[in-house]
A and B are shown apart, each in its own frame.
Chain A
Amino acid sequence: MATKASRSAARMMMAPAVVLLLGWMLVPLIMTLWFSFRTYLPLRGGDQGWTGFDNYVRFVTSSAFWPAVQTTLVIVIGVLAITVVLGVLLAMLLDQPMWGQGVVRILVIAPFFVMPTVSALVWKNMFMDPVNGLFSHLWRFFGAEPVSWLSDAAMPSIIMIVSWQWLPFATLILLTAIQSLDSEQLEAAEMDGAPPLKRFFFIVLPHLSRAITIVILIQTIFLLAIFAEIFVTTGGAFGTRTLSYLIFQRVLESQNVGLGSAGGVYAIILANIVAIFLMRIVGKNLDN
């Protein structure tokens, strides 16, 4: 179908998008790489020249680096575990016959559309505030001492807030996948006397594996870059400083662009390792 003329027309039509994205990727990337090899302190003398790999070494050996990596991983893995397990259970429940299914679905997916700054602030003030928050009322009602969540249990609190935001996404994707499950196969297994747990592990879970993989990979990409939730709740204090947040602090708060840029390069490498897996899966899907 494609003639020579239509091919060159196609190239022309693609050009703006390709050029824009290439610029968006390459220009800042090259600048980041350049800065990462320099001593660059905008408020304290500006660009002071070449330093080789000093920034890279300093960033990795600073006492903040490994805790930040650890925090990042704990948040990503914690949120993934909660959202995937609860997402599977919730999707299976929502797939069952019930009254008002459409309304329940709307209630469940709502948090996904709440902007991250709003959800972080609502949780921080109205639920987790140690004096007036709803949780503190609840704790006092049961005669317990209210917890100051975001300082004493900062990580579980952040994980809880972020899980609340991402559970709808996992549920929605998994529900879509469950609905495509061949119910005859399940019924046949049921007739053959397979108990519910066996049916779940040998039929439902394998069927969901692709959707689960996609949920994990897409969420990982977003969770690695998590920012607003930490910015408005703890500001990186109480052990909630992720790698992204550490870089943000180095670059914008302490104005050490060289050091921050080296951290940025590490973050880019980390994200790309994850991205390679995502590409493989999405790429496979493109073939069929």
Chain B
Amino acid sequence: MARSVTPRRKMINTGLAWAIGLLIFFPILWTILTSFKTEGQAIASPPIFLNFDWTLENYGIVMERSNYMRFLMNSIIIAGGSTILGLIVAVPAAWSMAFVPSKRTKDILLWMLSTKMLPAVGVLYPIYLLFIQLGLLDSRAGLVIVMMLINLPIIVWMLYTYFREIPGEILEAARMDGATLKEEVLYILTPMAIPGIASTMLLNFILAWNEAFWTLNLTAVNAAPLTAFIASYSSPEGLFFAKLSAASTMAIAPILILGWFSQKQLVRGLTFGAVK
């Protein structure tokens, strides 16, 4: 927005915005800083900001002691697997709803979204029982299925809003020019659909990575991802600030970076394009 303001005004805006931005970011910054301190420095009074002996010791201890790599792998497999599986189911569905709409398309879309409103805690025990029966409790496969199902409505909706923006005229023009179905899909539809699919993938990976209710309740040792691993630090012996910080930093860093890249899609994805 090209509004002209005085340099003074711009300076005030900048100062105020940076102060608030840093205040909001501070807990994350503090966690990252603390992860490089020794335990003694982490709880020093008054607190130490930058003049401490930077150490990687905490990262080493967390990795070694708690088998961090397994939790990380579980997070990657559960978030990644459920996203891919979700896309395989959702792309054809969203595609057909966007390009062959019927009178019931809107009802189906709204119904899908309504399954998202089902409070998880209301159906926890049935899922728990089914998982015991099927041998899925504390398994990666079980978590992949649950994550896929809870995110499926969002995947379908996001893809639907993206696909609907592909203009039908382009397809028709290509057909007039004698494009075969294969050419149509390969050279026209796929390039136009890929950005939407990519942002859907990104957002769903983030949602699945951070989801905590089902992972806390359906995993114990084998399939526990980072969300559950971090929660184990809430036990009394978890008052090791530096180690907690190192573990937290390792759990949030990948998704923080992904999230920053996808902030625009986040708005569209989470409001289904209702806010422009």
Q: Which A residues are within 8 Å of any B CB, using their own CB?
A: 1-2, 6-7, 9-11, 13-14, 16-18, 20-21, 24-25, 27-29, 31-32, 35, 90, 93-101, 103-127, 129, 132, 134, 137, 140-141, 164, 167-169, 172-173, 176-177, 179-180, 183, 210-211, 214, 218, 221, 224-225, 227-228, 231-233, 244-245, 247-248, 251-252, 257, 260-261, 263-265, 267-268, 270-272, 274-275, 278-279, 281-283, 285-286
Contact = CB atoms under 8 A, between A and B. Distances in A.
Contacts of B228: 117
B27 interface: yes
Nearest to B260: A106
Contacts of A122: 27, 30-31, 244-245, 248
A104 B21 contact: yes
A2 B99 CA distance: 8
Nearest to B213: A227
Contacts of A177: 275-276
Contact of A9 (B96, B209, B238, B256): B96
B18 interface: yes
Interface stretch (B50-58, B60-68, B87-95, B188-196): B87-95
B10 A183 contact: no
B182 interface: no
B120 to A, nearest CB: 6
Nearest to B225: A115
B189 to A, nearest CB: 14
Interface string B224-246: 00111011011000110100110
A267 B119 contact: yes
A264 B231 contact: no
Given A118-B252, A214-B271, A132 B233 contact: no
B77 interface: no
Contacts of B17: 93-94, 96, 98, 101, 104
Given A100-B18, A106-B260, A2 B102 contact: yes
Given A116-B212, A125-B239, A279-B114, A267 B121 contact: yes
Contacts of A27: 126, 130
19 contacts: A13-B96, A20-B89, A31-B129, A32-B122, A98-B10, A104-B21, A109-B263, A113-B259, A117-B216, A118-B252, A122-B245, A164-B24, A176-B276, A214-B275, A247-B122, A252-B125, A260-B125, A264-B124, A285-B273
The 6 closest A-B pairs by CB, nearest first: A264-B122, A113-B259, A10-B96, A31-B126, A28-B123, A13-B92
Contacts of B30: 122, 126, 134
A31 B252 CA distance: 36
Interface string B243-276: 0110010011001101110010011001111111
A107 B118 contact: no
A115 B245 CA distance: 13
B185 interface: no
A98 B14 contact: yes
B270 A13 contact: no
Contact of B124 (A25, A119, A248): A248
Grouping DSSP codes into helix (H, G, I), strand (E, B) and loop, the B interface class, with mixed when no group exceeds half, is helix
Given A17-B92, A125-B241, 11 more contacts: A24-B152, A31-B125, A113-B210, A114-B210, A115-B230, A115-B252, A122-B27, A169-B270, A218-B270, A271-B117, A272-B117
Contacts of B204: none
Contacts of A111: 24-25, 27-28
Interface in B15-46: 16-18, 20-22, 24-25, 27-28, 30-31, 34, 43, 45-46
A96 B230 contact: no
A248 B121 contact: yes
Nearest to A246: B121
B84 to A, nearest CB: 14
A134 B115 contact: no
Contacts of A14: 92-93, 96-97, 108
A28 B275 contact: no
A225 B213 contact: yes
B125 A32 contact: yes
B276 A180 contact: yes
A113 B255 contact: yes
A186 to B, nearest CB: 9
Nearest to B123: A28
A116 B210 contact: yes
B14 A100 contact: yes
Q: Which of B128, B217, B255, B271 is packed against the most chain A CB atoms within 10 Å? A: B271
B212 A115 contact: yes
B142 to A, nearest CB: 13
Contacts of B114: 272, 275, 279
A171 B109 CA distance: 27
Contacts of B115: 21, 24-25
A200 B121 CA distance: 41
Given A93-B20, A122-B31, A7 B100 contact: yes
A235 B43 CA distance: 25
Contact of A251 (B16, B124, B241, B259): B124
B198 interface: no
Contact of B24 (A96, A108, A125, A169): A108
